[in-house]
Chains A and B, each alone.
Chain A
Amino acid sequence: MSSLCINRLQEERKQWRKDHPFGFFAKPNKNSDGSLDLQNWTAGIPGKPNTIWANAVYPLTISFPDDYPSRPPKVKFPGGFYHPNIYPSGTICLSILNEAQDWRPAITLKQIALGVQELLDSPNPDSPAQEPAWRAFGKDRPTYEKKVKEQALKYAK
């Protein structure tokens, strides 16, 4: 891991501690000796209030590559997460997390977390990443909402 990457991740941690949105959490994993594994974080994204995603905190893993921030982190929900833009493996399909699209080194962890929260209730039907949720979202909204609510119970606060 480059010093640029370490410095940036330390700064991200500092900034997150100083200022993070309510209900979110994000922290580096710990090595067995208690030191921080700055390249691998665990985070939780609360569903927006008054949406079908509300009252739950959705777990995320964030892996920062060695050449972060030149390249974006890989952000994943648990496998099988139900959402039109989440691959069956849990990987999130979001333009700001795509090196070839809108990723910029200046994008912060807070922006990523808020971006993922926004994506939850505002899926992009033009970028399907899994079939069941994508199809239900586009063509069978009652089923989609029902499944999202069931998932919200699974991750209820």
Chain B
Amino acid sequence: MDTSAVDDFDRLSTLDQINSLNSIHPFLPHISNLINKLYTPNSLSNFDLINCQKKLQLFQKSLFSLTIANYLLDIPNDLNSNFFGALTFTVYLNHLFSNQFDIAKNNKIIINIPETDNDDDEDIDNNSIDYNLLNQITSQLLNHLIRLINNNLLKNTNNNFIIKKIYSNLSLIYINSTNINIKNSDSLFWKNPILSLLLLLSSNKINLNINDNNLIPNFLNTISTNTNTDDSYNYDYLYHLLNFSNILIEDISKFNVSIYSYDFNSHIYNNFFQSNIYLLSFIFNNNIKNINNNNNNNNNNNINNYQIINKIITESVTTFQSWLNYISLLKSSSLQLYKQHNKTINADTNSIIDLLILLLSFLSNFNTFPLINKNLETIQLIIQLYTNLFEVNNFIVSNKSSFNDHFFLLLFHQNQWGSIYINYLLRNSLNQKITADSTANSTTTNINNNNNNNFTDDNDLDSEFDDDNDEDHLLLVSSFANLIISYLEIDIIKFASLLLQDSNDYIFQFLINLTDLNGVPIINELISRDFIEFWSNLSEVLIDNSDLLLTLLNNNADDLIKIKKKLVLLLSNISQIYWNKILLPLNDSNLLLKIINYNKDEFDSYRNDVADFFETIYPLIGAPLYKNLINNILTNIDDTKTSSIQNIMQLEASLYLLISINTSFSEDNFNLELLNLISSIFNTNFLDLVLGSNNYYLISTTVRFLSSIEIFYKHNIGLDYLESILYFLFRCLSLNANTISLSDSNENSNHLSKSDLVLNWSNSLQFSVSKSISRICDECRYSLTKFLPKFDKILFIVINNLDIHNFIREKIINSISSIIQSINDPQLQCNHLLNLIDSIHLKSTNILNSVENGTLILDEQIMNYLVSLLKCVLEIGKGMQFPDEIEDSFFSAQEELKYTEYWSNDSLVIKSKILDIISNYSVNPKHQMIFLNYNNPNNSEKTNSFNDVIDNCCSIFRAGLPEKLPGPFVFDDNILLEFVVAQFDNIVQFITKDRRLSISLIYLFDLLRSVLNTNYKRLSVDQVNLTLNKIFFNYIDTLIKSDIDFVESSLQMILVIIEKKPSLLINPDNISNFNLLLNFNLNNLMRNEKQTLKFTSKFWILLIQLKNGDRECHDYVKKLFIENKVGNQLMLVTLQNMIKSDRSNIPVYGEIIRALFGKFQLYFKTWITSSFEAINQEAQFHNSSEINQANSDLKIIYNTQTVNLLIQKLLVCKGSKKVITVLKEFWLSSNNLYDY
């Protein structure tokens, strides 16, 4: 190779360089080399690969792209270059047509709107296309195409991917040229591309104008008269016609069809579609005949022929599917082609129906095809086509009895395709299909669809599935099921009506048998999963649409009853099948681990869907369904005395399904029969047996079952069992990983180890148990008080055992507390409470002391445990809150008095003990340091642990705030205020060293806000002044202004006072502080944070309006705004900052201006005028600076006219919301912006 040419080539790195070349020819071989390097694996480093791609893309976009494309496609035996050549044509054409599209748009041709009668055809700039160039390119592509096809046929070159790329290019030309020129169909650039291709293939001629309708029939005639498939050229040509058609229609459908005009779609539909229909009809007719004609010859020649035929049928089905997709898109598009042209639609759906019926014969002849023709891939394609048709395009077949009757027969009748095909699938795995002894005519058809009037669960199917069955096989069976389901669901009400005639029972039996295929769902079979939805939908016909069914039955109520009875019988059978299906394979450790490791989500989802199905059918079957499951449990409880794993599996499955049905129960539909049924379980040693099984699944499902029968506990019969149930749950809590087993089989897993699983499950079980306990306690708190003494031991464990998860500890404490709360004797209540509080106090003090004196090393677990103990106090506080719904009727007047007196005295000093705990954590200096100094070694960025302490302490105080009666957590206001002040002082000392503690200050502001919000009526001016001085006013300049979080949280606290009781702030004793507050909030208007501005705006609005202010307050504020000129100042600062703020902040500032207008109308104009004078003065001063002038940093000076106009507009608004619009307009003009 010429090294200088290589160097020159290497130097080409920009598009300009390439375009400035005199000739591309010397570089063409280098381009080809580069392409081959690109496509040869591992020939280039990643860096070189990217550079290589970039360089080749430059050539594709260059002025020489067509020359390059033709050169590359002409290179013999170089598929890489050939493909890149075809690709280069694509790049060129896309560029060409995107320009064309732009030209069309610029000429205001809207090509995506439906036809109107007044279309201005002349507007279309047809001349903007260089048709000579397009003609030249098309011819070039067709020449390349015929050469490649001949190479493919003669030399057996595997160049299909290049041919397809050329088809795509031709499709691009046809679609774009036709769409742009469609108004003038006589002068279309390309009349019919399929005919042109046929002419090219058969006569080697290029003619883009050919429109001879006889061409295809004549060609097909030559095939049909010569039944010898040795005439393979014609068959190959047929294949290419289909292939090109398919690419064309897929390309049209790729885009939303509505971007093309009605005319375009109509053209495609009436020309292209019709010729394709003709082609497809011929293939479906003739090739099926061909297969049948040759069904006894298994010589090699015939095998080749069948391969060709199958290839053509596959391509034709794919093309047919593409057309159906296109029709679907057309229907959903706004073109409403069908509505506008009823005649067309009738004709076309009829031809589609004809094709659909023709294609059915491919299925109906399945049994007679010789084995080698049982091409399951093609059958699968056909199945998917019909499934898609029923799901998406069922309008085509609705009311078409010619098709529907045929299809129904094919699916369900004896010895028809449905039963033959499914049995064929079940007997033959894919890799066995060509073995000599597996024929479709095997006599051991397993799924019966013979007449059977009783829906038995006796399925003589022997599917022979085993663990090694491949997924493809499962999917084939699943596809078949989906076909049936999609067909039946087109009109499921009509299908339900078939139950009326016993002669139809065989159909339902067939469906039952399909549902009941052998094998573990998800692992061995998918069909039962697919049928869940179908059976649910069928059930709902009788539950939700029985009126429609009745109409269909001519309002014959007896018929409806008969159908319902039969459906109940049918569903009882189905429920039995699904009960079997959801049994966990606990007796097969390998299978169980396979599910857990690979299919857990899917299997869980399956069980979930089955449970939903049981919930769905319960209203139809009613108590017998529930009874059946309960009986199963009772039977297995008896049997479990022998500890069979089979019993455990069955128990678990029945409980699992009962849980789902339980969700349907309400007081309206829960009756004595159900109550007794549930009781019958607890009358046995069920709970002991479950616990004794040590089986995670059974225990876990039982726990969930126990929390699902809350309605049972609300009845006296149920209450009798509460104690044993809770005792069971608490015992479950103490189960640990060592006592829970996976199954009775030996461990054998290479993946997640059994011990890992069990450990996870142990934790998961604990969570589940704690939630169940919590749920039962919440629901039955009043009934559980008598059991409280029995909980002491549990509480001791829960509080003292470090290994119990914090969440569970807190949840249990909350539940027990809620039971304690429901005791209406305060003395008794207090005794239980004392026990709890003392335990926590003792334990937390011991731990804190041990850490402090170094006998216990503080680690993350200890730290979390300490915080959890504090949180337990909070959970007690929450549990002790009066429930909202019974507050009014909880106590009699006498009891209320007794309760109030008791807690006012607090003889057992519960409140002091709570305060002691709080103090122990947050005030005791040595203990404080434990939290302040703790650094989590796993994450030093985490929040300081003292924040958790303060958060929980504040929450404990907050827990008593909403209470109307003085309970154990209701403290004197001064205690709360003192805590806030003391902790504020305390934390401020440390905050400079550790900014993370700023969170604690916000917790304190929030607590004070809550106190003010709840108790503002009884708080005195002194209390508030003193507190605010110490935590707010004293720090306003030094600390609060420095941190936006402090500004916001303190402001929210102030807002509560101004809103609820402004006199707490606005009073003669607080003048200087109040002025400080005004300045603080004038400054806050300059901040750019949205939340701050929002709160500040609210402050000013509340202050101006003073809705809850007394007369003195109003007088003071009025004086302040008018005489002390705060109003003027506020207007100035608001306007100044609004002008320079973000547009989205205008409403925030605008609301202040609205409020000012509302209260101070007389001064409004004066204040605005003087504000703008001040703004202008400041601007003049600013603009006079030479530096600002030099930097063109000049401020706007508003002339009198502008200001007056603004004032005028604002006055007209009279403080309405329109003020905001006026200010937005003003803001836009001030900032030289326009509102688009």
User: Out of B533, B602, B615, B942, which one reaches A142, CB within 8 Å?
Assistant: B942
Given that A142-B941, A153-B767 are contacting pairs, would A30 and B664 also be in contact in the complex, using a CB cutoff of 8 Å?
yes
Which residues of B998-1015 are within 8 A (CB) of A? 999, 1002
Which of B536, B543, B615, B947 has the largest number of chain A CB atoms within 10 A?
A: B543
User: Out of A22, A36, A142, A156, which one reaches B540, CB within 8 Å?
Assistant: A36
User: Out of A34, A150, A153, which one reaches B619, CB within 8 Å?
Assistant: A34
**Does A123 have its Cβ within 8 Å of any Cβ on chain B?**
no
Contact A14 B601 (CB under 8 A): no
Which of A25, A30, A128, A143 has the largest number of chain B CB atoms within 10 A?
A: A30
Q: Chain A contacts of B941 at CB under 8 A?
A: 142
Q: How far is the CA of A107 from the CA of B540 in the complex (A)?
A: 25
**Does A32 have its Cβ within 8 Å of any Cβ on chain B?**
yes
Contact B537 A14 (CB under 8 A): yes
Contact B533 A17 (CB under 8 A): yes
Q: How far is the CA of A86 from the CA of B991 in the complex (A)?
A: 32
What's the least CB distance linking B708 to chain A, in Å? 14
0/1 string, B65-91, CB within 8 A of A gives 1? 000000000000000000000000000
**Does B104 have its Cβ within 8 Å of any Cβ on chain A?**
no
Smallest CB gap from A10: residue in B: B544
**Does A105 have its Cβ within 8 Å of any Cβ on chain B?**
no
User: Out of A32, A143, A154, which one reaches B947, CB within 8 Å?
Assistant: A143
Q: How far is the CA of A25 from the CA of B601 in the complex (A)?
A: 13
Contact A34 B999 (CB under 8 A): no
User: Out of B537, B618, B1002, B1045, which one reaches A34, CB within 8 Å?
Assistant: B618
Smallest CB gap from A19: residue in B: B533
Contact A142 B601 (CB under 8 A): no
Q: Chain B contacts of A33 at CB under 8 A?
A: 619, 669
Q: How far is the CA of A27 from the CA of B615 in the complex (A)?
A: 11
Which residues of B914-966 are within 8 A (CB) of A? 939, 941-943, 947
User: Out of B543, B620, B669, B1045, which one reaches A36, CB within 8 Å?
Assistant: B543
What's the least CB distance linking A6 to chain B, in Å? 10
Q: Chain B contacts of A25 at CB under 8 A?
A: 608, 612
What's the least CB distance linking A9 to chain B, in Å? 11
User: Out of A22, A23, A27, which one reaches B612, CB within 8 Å?
Assistant: A27
User: Out of A22, A128, A143, which one reaches B999, CB within 8 Å?
Assistant: A143
Q: Chain A contacts of B767 at CB under 8 A?
A: 153, 156
**Does A140 have its Cβ within 8 Å of any Cβ on chain B?**
yes
Contact B533 A35 (CB under 8 A): no
0/1 string, B603-626, CB within 8 A of A gives 1? 001001000100100111000000
**Does B491 have its Cβ within 8 Å of any Cβ on chain A?**
no
Given that A25-B608, A146-B943, A156-B767 are contacting pairs, would A139 and B540 also be in contact in the complex, using a CB cutoff of 8 Å?
no
0/1 string, A102-141, CB within 8 A of B gives 1? 0000000000000000000000000010000001000110
Contact B947 A18 (CB under 8 A): no
Q: How far is the CA of A36 from the CA of B619 in the complex (A)?
A: 11
What's the least CB distance linking A106 to chain B, in Å? 11
Q: How far is the CA of A142 from the CA of B935 in the complex (A)?
A: 14
Q: Chain B contacts of A153 at CB under 8 A?
A: 767, 807
Contact B668 A128 (CB under 8 A): no
**Does B666 have its Cβ within 8 Å of any Cβ on chain A?**
yes
Contact A34 B668 (CB under 8 A): no
Which residues of B573-620 are within 8 A (CB) of A? 601-602, 605, 608, 612, 615, 618-620
Q: How far is the CA of A23 from the CA of B666 in the complex (A)?
A: 26
Size of chain A's interface in residues, with CB distance under 8 A?
A: 24
Q: Chain B contacts of A156 at CB under 8 A?
A: 764, 767
0/1 string, B392-410, CB within 8 A of A gives 1? 0000000000000000000
Q: How far is the CA of A14 from the CA of B533 in the complex (A)?
A: 8
Contact B533 A23 (CB under 8 A): no
0/1 string, B96-136, CB within 8 A of A gives 1? 00000000000000000000000000000000000000000
Interface size class of B (residues with CB under 8 A): 20 to 34
Contact B543 A35 (CB under 8 A): yes
0/1 string, A2-24, CB within 8 A of B gives 1? 00000000000010011000110
Q: How far is the CA of A143 from the CA of B942 in the complex (A)?
A: 8
Smallest CB gap from A33: residue in B: B619
User: Out of A14, A27, A35, A139, which one reaches B1045, CB within 8 Å?
Assistant: A139
**Does B1091 have its Cβ within 8 Å of any Cβ on chain A?**
yes
Contact A35 B619 (CB under 8 A): yes
Contact B807 A150 (CB under 8 A): yes
Contact A34 B620 (CB under 8 A): yes
Contact B943 A128 (CB under 8 A): no
Q: Chain B contacts of A142 at CB under 8 A?
A: 939, 941-943
Which residues of A12-71 are within 8 A (CB) of B? 14, 17-18, 22-23, 25, 27, 30, 32-36
Q: Chain B contacts of A143 at CB under 8 A?
A: 943, 947, 999
Which residues of B655-679 are within 8 A (CB) of A? 664, 666, 668-669
Q: How far is the CA of A33 from the CA of B601 in the complex (A)?
A: 32
Contact B943 A32 (CB under 8 A): no
Given that A32-B669, A153-B767 are contacting pairs, would A128 and B619 also be in contact in the complex, using a CB cutoff of 8 Å?
no
Contact A22 B533 (CB under 8 A): no
Q: Chain A contacts of B543 at CB under 8 A?
A: 34-36
What's the least CB distance linking A33 to chain B, in Å? 7
Q: Chain B contacts of A14 at CB under 8 A?
A: 537
What's the least CB distance linking A13 to chain B, in Å? 9
Contact B1091 A22 (CB under 8 A): no
Q: How far is the CA of A150 from the CA of B805 in the complex (A)?
A: 12
User: Out of B608, B942, B1091, which one reaches A128, CB within 8 Å?
Assistant: B1091
Q: How far is the CA of A143 from the CA of B533 in the complex (A)?
A: 44
Smallest CB gap from A140: residue in B: B999
User: Out of A17, A32, A36, A146, which one reaches B544, CB within 8 Å?
Assistant: A36
Q: Chain B contacts of A135 at CB under 8 A?
A: 1002, 1045
Given that A30-B664, A32-B668, A32-B669 are contacting pairs, would A22 and B943 also be in contact in the complex, using a CB cutoff of 8 Å?
no
Smallest CB gap from B533: residue in A: A17
Smallest CB gap from B540: residue in A: A36
Smallest CB gap from B939: residue in A: A142
Q: Chain B contacts of A32 at CB under 8 A?
A: 666, 668-669
0/1 string, B752-790, CB within 8 A of A gives 1? 000000000000100100000000000000000000000
Which residues of B525-557 are within 8 A (CB) of A? 533, 536-537, 540, 543-544
Smallest CB gap from B1091: residue in A: A128
Contact B666 A35 (CB under 8 A): no
A-B contact pairs, 27 of them (CB 8 A): A17-B533, A17-B536, A22-B601, A22-B605, A23-B601, A25-B608, A25-B612, A27-B612, A30-B615, A32-B669, A33-B669, A34-B620, A35-B543, A35-B619, A36-B543, A36-B544, A139-B1045, A140-B943, A140-B999, A142-B939, A142-B942, A143-B947, A146-B943, A150-B807, A153-B807, A156-B764, A156-B767
A-side residues, CB < 8 A to B, are 14, 17-18, 22-23, 25, 27, 30, 32-36, 128, 135, 139-140, 142-143, 146, 150, 153-154, 156
Question: Which 4 pairs between the two chains have the least Cβ-Cβ distance?
Answer: A34-B619, A32-B668, A153-B807, A142-B943
Given contacts A22-B605, A30-B664, 18 further A-B contacts (CB under 8 A): A14-B537, A17-B536, A17-B537, A18-B533, A22-B601, A22-B602, A23-B601, A32-B666, A33-B669, A34-B620, A35-B619, A36-B543, A135-B1045, A139-B1045, A142-B941, A146-B943, A153-B807, A156-B764
